[in-house]
Structure 1
Amino acid sequence: MDDDDGSKKTLSDFLTEYHSDQLQSILHSSDHRLHYPLYVDFAEVMEQDSPLAHEILFEPTKYLPLFDEAAKLAQEIMYEQTKKIWENESYKEGLERPSPTIKEFVHVRIEIRGPMLDNPELCPSIGRVRVKHRGVLLTLKGTVIRSGSIKMIEGEREYECRKCKKRFKVHPELESRNSIPKPIFCPFQKPKFCESTSFQLLEGNKVCHDYQEIKIQESTQVLGVGAIPRSIPVILQDDLVDIVKAGDDVIVTGVLTAKWSPDLKDVRCDLEPVFVANYVRRINEIKLDIEIPDDVIQKFKNFWSDFKDTPLKGRNAILRAICPQVYGLFTVKLAVTLTLIGGVQHVDGSGTKVRGESHLLLVGDPGTGKSQFLKFAAKLSKRSVITTGLGSTSAGLTVTAVKDGGEWMLEAGALVLADGGLCCIDEFDSMREHDRATIHEAMEQQTISIAKAGLVTTLSTKTIVFGATNPKGQYDPNQSLSVNTTLSGPLISRFDIVLVLLDTKNPEWDKVVSDHILDQAESDKNKCHEDLDKMWPLSTLRSYIHFVKGYFRPTLSKEAENVISRYYQLQRSIATENAARTTVRMLESLIRLAQAHARLMFRNEVTRLDAITAILCIESSMTTSAIVDSVGNALHSNFTDNPDQEYAMQEELILKKLKIS
């Protein structure tokens, strides 16, 4: 028995021992023409037979096909065992026996998980892939930016030697674009090589494979400033095709090889790297369901039990950790936190989805910290894309149609890549009017419908949009937001909160801010912030926002419903110049913000407190306030020493204005 047969026997024994359930499932599947995956954890192979695992790692082109053959051998062993069980058992008359069949196309898919994913040799970043990695089993992480169409390629051809009459198979070569070369000489040897050069092609059962090319790009989250994200084409075959789409985050295990670049006029034909996938896993769902340790959850519960009597003081302790380098701006920090947490998506009576994600727009004079908030929000989100209005076209924001190898493909833009996360757009006013119109659908319906180059489809953009813009010239409080920002009414109505930060002259505020900035420059005077940094550092804050988003699904209490309803009616009755903001969308925004505040306060019920806080946020984004003197300039809003007491006064004022006893 040669080495290959020995390895095949070892691998089949491993499969029958550890993966009998998967093998039984494949045996009892009805369609024998399908390609079936058999998932194997690489750590199990390493534990069972370390030398063999090493061989698979460094000679995958030899051992992965052997693993597939071993899967077929394991099926035969399982089949024989099943037959013996039938013979030993006495079946009742009329009872149908199961009819397993050995499947021809079974592919062993190697999963690399856990600590091994942190090994830079086995799991390099896409930008670090080099020639030394060729022919080694690698794992790459990235985002799918392009997804090609599914093709059919010929898997093998069978030839017969005219001299020795032996038959042999020839497989396609990836380097020469999957074409099957004609054999040069007969591969068989008796005492010596046959050396025949005459062959006959046998037109028997043709074996074809599904084939798809995608392109993955390294995540911009892990790159430093100034680094250009690199991408690599990935080849998917058989059961792997059509399981990922543009915008998905994926982990791909496979082998790095090369193929000739397409023939283009006046362009040199080179070998370009390509990754042949053995295993593909979407990590979108895993990313949205990150395990938060029990001790961290207990820490959150203990925090709220400490602030049981003064909940708003506890809330403000969390808000102080938002963008701590910017002094004050309480209203902005509250708005950013509520936007990141968001409300609960629900389906109304007609089956239409009502979005749970909130959108935020900061309109402010230069130097008011808008970009600082954008960058900090991007750090808090598990998935984020930052772009600027000037550097984004409508195609760059939505989807681009590109031609690759004579075929049109769709390449995902910023909103699609941020699906399930946050899209920050700075200098929002620099975008062309046509480009701004393209994000209307993405913000409200959370989809992008496209018809480009004969490709008609709809992509998901379940994204929070966080925009920042400067006002057009000097902000005029007597004019509407549309006039001051050159943004259209329909676009403004899609933002849940629009905060106007006016850099008005205020000597007292200027003195406080200048003192704070000068204090920060001296490290010994910054000790008062150390306790806060220990309790709510960036990582804890990110975990908290992620936990409350996944754990709580708040419902509105009768009191909260009453407050929101009365406020909406009041706004509708006085809205004249600000009609763009007072639509039904404002009512939905109030509900989302109230739900987000309930989540922030670690509750599953929306109380009157949450509803009134949502009203105060909406009031801050109105040019004409329905409730007089309840809010001031958002830029000069600061944290108070006794927020619970201040809230009691605001609540009394608002309820009086809304005529609620």
Structure 2
Amino acid sequence: MVGDPGLGKSQMLQACTNVAPRGIYVCGNTSTSSGLTVTMTRDGGEYALEAGALMLADQGCCCIDEFDKMPSQHACLLEAMEQQSISIAKAGIVCSLPTRATILAAANPAGGHYNKSKTIAENLKMSSPMLSRFDLIFILLDQPDEQLDSLLSKHVLGMHVGNRAGRSNPGFNVSVDTTTDEHTLIDRLRVNGEILDRLPHSLFRKYIAYAQKYVSPQLSEEANEVLKDYYLLLRKQFKIGDCTPITTRQLNSLIRLSQARAKAELREEVTKEDALDIVEIMKFSLVDIFTDAHGVMDKTRSQNGTGMSTKSQAMELLRLLQRRSDVETRSMFSVKEIKELGDRVGIAKEKFYSILESLNIQGFLLHKGQSNYQLMHIKI
């Protein structure tokens, strides 16, 4: 979860820790690499291994808050999140320890507010290998909403007025209607005024533990076709430009999420409806990631990249050239001047000349002489 401060991300992580049969909650700004993985200690003349948070959360859930405050610890999580194990080679001890844990992480964007014109990697200042290991990425924005603000204020004030009735029923009346397949997942989870009978944490924890131990769903033929078609569609849509590469990681994510969806209802078979629900969740996550500042879904944006898409970078370069042209009342620019502006935009050196050639072909910059280009005054 990536989003603005004060939206309750930490509360959600703590709630997941409370209902998980084996849940560990850690805060990123107070954790070390050894605290997350494994620590080597010396007791007398012998060395011993002490388990870290990921090992303690084996076959459970590890919730990491303030994930953006621990850039030096990300390297130790790469192997654990990919291979579900940690390899140790210290003090003559060489071994591999299991870390089959689900990692839920919450992070705040750099600067205090999420900027939709930037990619997730730019907002978090996080490496692309780490971001690619998460199955789902959700962006939470602090946007004014009269109904939600009213419900939130009623809940917060009800916790401080000493009214037990207000505490037990804070005003979040949610109804989950699963009786019909005609509605989408969002429609079935939408608030409609009915009160949902909530399960106690202890009972819900037992339910999850039973599902994890005794239920092992397998994909049906219909679910297999739905996941395969959606994966091929993603491969087709995100194969050009600087977009995020779609690999078998995304296919494995779809399979894991579909099995979890069936396991939540204690079913041994993943149905077509389960696969369709997971596809809808994945689409919701992708829409959040690839929507730019203007509310337009740009599939050439890269969630893992270190800059804007090539198209956005080229448009920003033209805006800077147009601004300088208006100030200095000239339209001729040298390649060196254009390159300096390209560095300000964040254009990589290996992509600069290809972008320059593309702008020349499109007629925005006309090649004049050996190293000069003329800016055409075109409305961008």
1:480/1:577 contact within 8 Å kept: no
SS of equivalent to 2:115: coil
Alignment partner of 1:536 out of 167, 187, 199: 199
Once the two structures are superposed, the pairs formed by residues 610-629 of structure 1 within 5 Å of their partners are 610-622=274-286, 623-624=289-290
Match of 2:101 in 1: 463
Cα distance in structure 1, aligned partners of 2:104 and 2:168: 33
1:493 deviates by 1.6
Once the two structures are superposed, the pairs formed by residues 90-105 of structure 1 within 5 Å of their partners are none
Cα distance in structure 2, aligned partners of 1:466 and 1:387: 11
Cα distance in structure 2, aligned partners of 1:480 and 1:368: 20
Which amino acid in structure 1 is aligned with residue 16 of structure 2? Answer: A
Change in CA separation of 1:462 and 1:611 when aligned onto 2, cut-off 3 Å: same
Alignment partner of 1:555 out of 215, 218, 222: 218
Match of 1:479 in 2: 118
Alignment partner of 1:590 out of 251, 254, 257: 254
1:374/1:466 contact within 8 Å kept: yes
Which amino acid in structure 2 is aligned with residue 589 of structure 1? Answer: S
1:554 deviates by 1.6
TM-score (norm 2): 0.63
1:584 deviates by 1.3
* Structure 2: 5+ residue stretches without partners: 174-193, 298-380
Cα distance in structure 2, aligned partners of 1:472 and 1:384: 28
Cα distance in structure 1, aligned partners of 2:158 and 2:42: 56
Once the two structures are superposed, the pairs formed by residues 391-540 of structure 1 within 5 Å of their partners are 391-433=30-72, 435-473=73-111, 474-519=113-158, 521=161, 522-525=163-166, 536-540=199-203
2:84/2:98 contact within 8 Å kept: yes
Cα distance in structure 2, aligned partners of 1:602 and 1:399: 34
Cα distance in structure 1, aligned partners of 2:43 and 2:168: 57
Aligned residue pairs, count = 264
1:528 deviates by 5.4
1:493/1:586 contact within 8 Å kept: no
Q: Does 1:600 align with 2:264?
A: yes
Cα distance in structure 2, aligned partners of 1:533 and 1:566: 35
Which amino acid in structure 1 is aligned with residue 131 of structure 2? Answer: I
TM-score (norm 1): 0.37
Change in CA separation of 1:398 and 1:535 when aligned onto 2, cut-off 3 Å: closer
Which amino acid in structure 1 is aligned with residue 248 of structure 2? Answer: V
Cα distance in structure 2, aligned partners of 1:527 and 1:410: 45
Which amino acid in structure 2 is aligned with residue 558 of structure 1? Answer: E
Cα distance in structure 2, aligned partners of 1:413 and 1:383: 14
1:366 deviates by 0.8
Cα distance in structure 2, aligned partners of 1:579 and 1:505: 31
Which amino acid in structure 2 is aligned with residue 560 of structure 1? Answer: A
Alignment partner of 2:273 out of 583, 602, 609: 609
1:442/1:461 contact within 8 Å kept: yes
SS of equivalent to 1:621: helix
Cα distance in structure 1, aligned partners of 2:270 and 2:39: 42
1:403 deviates by 2.2
1:596 deviates by 0.9
SS of equivalent to 2:39: strand
Cα distance in structure 1, aligned partners of 2:166 and 2:120: 41
Change in CA separation of 1:439 and 1:525 when aligned onto 2, cut-off 3 Å: closer
1:372 deviates by 0.8
SS of equivalent to 1:570: helix
SS of equivalent to 2:144: coil
Change in CA separation of 1:510 and 1:547 when aligned onto 2, cut-off 3 Å: same
SS of equivalent to 2:106: strand
1:525 deviates by 4.5
Which amino acid in structure 1 is aligned with residue 76 of structure 2? Answer: T
Which amino acid in structure 1 is aligned with residue 259 of structure 2? Answer: Q
1:509 deviates by 2.9
Which amino acid in structure 2 is aligned with residue 456 of structure 1? Answer: V
Which amino acid in structure 1 is aligned with residue 290 of structure 2? Answer: T
1:428/1:467 contact within 8 Å kept: yes
Once the two structures are superposed, the pairs formed by residues 107-186 of structure 1 within 5 Å of their partners are none
Cα distance in structure 2, aligned partners of 1:399 and 1:570: 41
Change in CA separation of 1:616 and 1:478 when aligned onto 2, cut-off 3 Å: farther
Larger radius of gyration, structure 1 or 2? 1
Which amino acid in structure 2 is aligned with residue 443 of structure 1? Answer: M
2:71/2:126 contact within 8 Å kept: no
Structural RMSD (CA): 2.6
Match of 1:366 in 2: 5
1:476 deviates by 2.3
Cα distance in structure 2, aligned partners of 1:460 and 1:525: 45
Cα distance in structure 2, aligned partners of 1:526 and 1:491: 39
Which amino acid in structure 1 is aligned with residue 257 of structure 2? Answer: L
1:493/1:583 contact within 8 Å kept: no
1:410 deviates by 2.2
Higher relative contact order at CA 8 Å, sep ≥6: structure 1 or structure 2?
2
Cα distance in structure 2, aligned partners of 1:619 and 1:437: 29
1:401 deviates by 1.8
2:5/2:108 contact within 8 Å kept: yes
Q: Deviations over 1:592-620 (max 9, x none)?
A: 11111112233222122211211222223
Cα distance in structure 2, aligned partners of 1:430 and 1:528: 35
Which amino acid in structure 1 is aligned with residue 250 of structure 2? Answer: M
Q: Does 1:579 align with 2:244?
A: yes
Once the two structures are superposed, the pairs formed by residues 372-387 of structure 1 within 5 Å of their partners are 372-387=11-26
1:555 deviates by 1.7
- Which of 523-532 and 423-432 deviates more? 523-532
Cα distance in structure 2, aligned partners of 1:621 and 1:599: 22
SS of equivalent to 1:498: coil
Cα distance in structure 2, aligned partners of 1:535 and 1:387: 27
Change in CA separation of 1:586 and 1:542 when aligned onto 2, cut-off 3 Å: same
Cα distance in structure 1, aligned partners of 2:242 and 2:81: 24
Cα distance in structure 1, aligned partners of 2:70 and 2:248: 27
1:417 deviates by 1.9
Structure with bigger helix share is: 2
1:554/1:604 contact within 8 Å kept: yes
Match of 2:328 in 1: none
Cα distance in structure 1, aligned partners of 2:198 and 2:96: 43
1:572 deviates by 2.2
Cα distance in structure 2, aligned partners of 1:400 and 1:527: 43
1:452 deviates by 1.3
The alignment-based identity, stated in percent, is 43
1:524 deviates by 3.5
SS of equivalent to 1:401: strand
Cα distance in structure 2, aligned partners of 1:418 and 1:367: 27
Q: Deviations over 1:380-422 (max 9, x none)?
A: 1222222111111111111222222133322222111222222
